[in-house]
Structure 1
Amino acid sequence: MGEMKDRAKGLANEAAGNLKQAAGKATDDASLHAEGTAQERKGEAQQLAGKVKGALGNEI
């Protein structure tokens, strides 16, 4: 994947994770909240990978 794909997927995962967290909080569902937190972290990691690829080139 290229830099922009990683960043886009990261943003999508962060947004979905935030929605799951909010839904879990609203419905008092700890499992859904935890799933949202994990998905948000995954998105943050994907964005970081995109930034690294941008800094080093798409060769990694």
Structure 2
Amino acid sequence: MLTFAWSKAKDFWKREDGLGMLEMILIIAVIIIIALLFRKELLRIVQRLLTKVDKKSDEVFSDN
């Protein structure tokens, strides 16, 4: 009985079915943590980029 339980435990440990999902969840968690830590800097970068895009689009469309 004990050897049967031990073999089932080994088999469960060797299976890699859910390993891909666990890795994806961990990667997403790390990305979210980094985004939260640097959110002010990220917001400033995005705002700067959007301002540049707005200025360039005004230049393009005002030259008619």
Q: What TM-score, normalized to structure 2?
A: 0.39
Rg larger for: 2
- Greater relative contact order (CA < 8 Å, ≥ 6 in sequence): 1
Q: What TM-score, normalized to structure 1?
A: 0.41
